[in-house]
Structures are given as C-alpha cells and as structure tokens.
C-alpha cells in the first residue's frame, strides 16, 4: 500500500484470501486513521441523512487514472478486528470514500464498476498510457521504503506526508 502511495488496501489485491482491508488515510479535517477490519459491512445511511459527494478516486488495481465518483459523504462500517472483537469505524469525506472503496473491493467491485461505460473505457485507456510510469515509480518507492526500513526501527513507517497520500498514483 505504501509502495503504491495508497490510502487503503484490500487483502485480495495482494492475493490474500481474506475479507480484510487495511487503511492509513486522512479525513477532510486532516485526522489520520490507521487500522484494519475483517468482514466489513457498510451500514445503510438514513434516507434523510444521505449526501453524495463527487470526488476523484483512483485504485491501486487500476494504476494511473483518477476519476470522479459519487460516494456518500459519511460512512459507517461494522466488522471485526484481528482479535475477533467487533469494531465500528465511522468516517467522513476522503476517509469515508476509502472505507466504501475498500469494502467494494471485498464485494467484488472496483470503482470503475460505478462509472458509465464511456468513463470506464476512458479510464482504462488512461491506465494503459500511464501504467509503465506508475510501476516504475512503485519500484523506486519500494527501494526507498526498503532502505528506510533497513536503516532502523526509528524510521517513520509511513514517510508519505498527509497531502501526498491523496495525490498518489491510485489511492485508495
Ligand atoms: Zn482500490
């Protein structure tokens, strides 16, 4: 996830057969949220409290493009932590988008499935154009994160500054 400058990652994106995702994501107030959830279920929003936001979104599994997607402004996800305890994660803004995007992954949906056919074709064409550059950047980033890790445990685990998380190649 950090190599690809992502804000979230679903287990099966890296061939792990679990209904699990991890996140390291800032909300629109600049608060960092780091964690994981197993078997996440999105709680339906109250009909009168629904508010959709249209904001750019990308995906580590669709390297390169960022496309506007309508999502709920707020999200509540229920699930379990790795100890089996029930957890309830509430998010707003970009963090809500991350929670919904990652839960979609575990339900077999990519954000491109929420686009019109024309938008999807355009996004996939853009991915074809950008993918080599994105993968080259990931290789460089893997090297620098590996070097920081070898330098010692005092190195910060997430060297990406907050705003860079949102301008990476495909977060979440
Ligand atoms: Zn994704």
Mean pLDDT estimate for the chain: 88
- Structural domain includes residue 2: no
Tens of pLDDT, residues 106-163: 999 999 999 999 999 999 999 999 999 999 999 999 998 888 888 876 655 554 444 4
Return the DSSP state at 167. Answer: T
Is position 102 annotated as part of the catalytic site? yes
Cα of 90 from ligand 1 centre, angstroms: 19
Tell which wins on pLDDT, 140 or 165. Answer: 140
Q: Which of 79, 86, 92, 105 is nearest to 49 (CA)?
A: 92
CATH number of the domain residue 128 falls in: 3.90.45.10
- Structural domain includes residue 116: yes
Q: What is the pLDDT of residue 163?
A: 40
Q: Supply the range of the domain harboring residue 75.
A: 8-149+157-166
Q: Known binder of ligand: residue 25?
A: no
Cα of 166 from ligand 1 centre, angstroms: 13
- Could you list the beta-strand ranges (E) of the chain: 8-10, 20-26, 32-42, 52-59, 62-72, 74-80, 86-92
Cα of 67 from ligand 1 centre, angstroms: 12
- Structural domain includes residue 91: yes
Cα of 98 from ligand 1 centre, angstroms: 9
- Active-site residue, from 102, 132, 140, 154: 102
Q: What is the pLDDT of residue 28?
A: 87
Least confident of 1-10, 31-40, 95-104: 1-10
Q: How far apart are CA 167 and CA 115, in angstroms?
A: 21
Q: Please give the structure tokens belonging to residue 28.
A: 């629109």
């Amino acid at each position: 996830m950090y190599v690809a400058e992502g804000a979230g990652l679903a287990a099966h994106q890296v061939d792990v057969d679990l209904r699990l995702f991890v996140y390291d994501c800032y909300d629109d107030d600049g608060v960092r949220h780091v964690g994981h959830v197993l078997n996440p279920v999105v709680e339906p929003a109250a009909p009168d409290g629904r508010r959709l936001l249209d904001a750019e979104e990308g995906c580590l599994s669709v390297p390169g493009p960022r496309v506007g997607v309508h999502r709920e402004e707020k999200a509540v996800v229920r699930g379990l932590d790795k100890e089996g305890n029930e957890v309830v994660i509430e998010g707003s803004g970009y963090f809500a988008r991350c929670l919904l995007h990652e839960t979609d992954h575990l339900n077999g949906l990519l954000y491109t499935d929420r686009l019109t056919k024309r938008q999807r074709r355009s996004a996939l064409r853009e991915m074809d154009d950008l993918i080599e550059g994105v993968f080259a950047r990931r290789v460089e980033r893997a090297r620098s994160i590996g070097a920081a890790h070898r330098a010692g445990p005092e190195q910060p685990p997430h060297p990406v500054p907050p705003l860079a998380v949102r301008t990476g190649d495909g977060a979440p």
